[in-house]
Structure 1
Amino acid sequence: MEFTSVKKQQWSEIKEIYMEAFPKCERKPFFLLRQSIKRKKAVLAVAEEGNQLLGFTVFVVYKDMVMIDYLAVSSKIRSRGTGSRILEHICGQFPDKKIVLLIERVDDMAENCQQRTARRRFYLKNGFTSSGIFITGAGGDMEVLNYGGTVSQEEYMDLQRYALGKLFFRLSRIQLAEV
Structure 2
Amino acid sequence: MLEIVQLTNINHPDFQGALQIYLDSFPACERQPLEILETRLSNQLYQWFVAKADNQVVGIALLYPLKPTNFILLDYLGTDKKYRSRGIGRMLMSHLINLVKSQEHNLLIEVENPQFCEDSEQAERRIKFYQNNGAKVLRSVRYLLPPLSGDVPTEMLLMMVPAELGGQLPGSLVQQLIEQVYQEMYDRPSEDALLQSFIEEVPDVVQFVHLS
Please tell me the TM-score bracket, short chain as reference.
Answer: 0.7 to 0.9
Kindly indicate whether residue 155 of structure 2 is the aligned counterpart of residue 134 of structure 1. Answer: no
Name the aligned partner's letter for residue 49 of structure 2: A
The residue identity in structure 2 corresponding to 1:105 is N
Q: After the TM superposition, which of the residue ranges 80-89 and 8-17 deviates more from structure 2?
A: 8-17
Tell me the SS of whatever aligns to 2:131: helix
Return the index of the structure with the highest Cα Rg: 2
Write the distance in 2 (CA, Å) between the matches of 1:112 and 1:143: 15
Question: How many angstroms does 1:106 deviate by?
Answer: 1.0
User: Does structure 1 residue 97 correspond to structure 2 residue 116?
Assistant: no
Identity of aligned residues (%): 21
Root-mean-square deviation (CA), in Å?
2.4
Output the amino acid matched with 2:155. Answer: D
Aligned counterpart for 1:22 among listed residues 22, 26, 30: 26
Q: How does 1:4-153 map to 2 (within 5 A)?
A: 4-6=5-7, 8-62=12-66, 63-95=69-101, 96-107=104-115, 110-132=117-139, 133-136=141-144, 137-138=146-147, 139-149=153-163, 152-153=173-174
Q: Deviation of residue 157 (structure 1)?
A: 1.6
Q: Does 1:3 align with 2:4?
A: yes
Q: Per-residue deviation at 1:21?
A: 0.9
Amino acid at match of 1:115: Q
Indicate the larger mover: 155-164 or 18-27: 155-164
Call closer, same or farther: CA 1:85–1:31 in 2, change over 3 Å. same
Number of residue pairs aligned between Structure 1 and Structure 2: 176
- From 163, 166, 176, give the equivalent of 2:184: 163
The 1:116–1:122 alpha-carbon spacing in structure 2 relative to 1, beyond 3 Å, is same
Moved more, 41-50 or 149-158: 149-158
Contact residue 56 and residue 72 of structure 1 kept, 8 A: yes
Hey, what does 1:154 align to over in structure 2? 175
Q: Which runs of 5+ in 2 are unaligned?
A: 148-152, 203-212
- 3-state SS in 1 of match to 2:89: helix
Query: Residues 111-159 of structure 1, C-alpha deviation per residue, up to 9 Å, x if partnerless?
Result: 2111111111111111110012221132511111101245542242244
Distance 1:122 1:141, change over 3 A: same
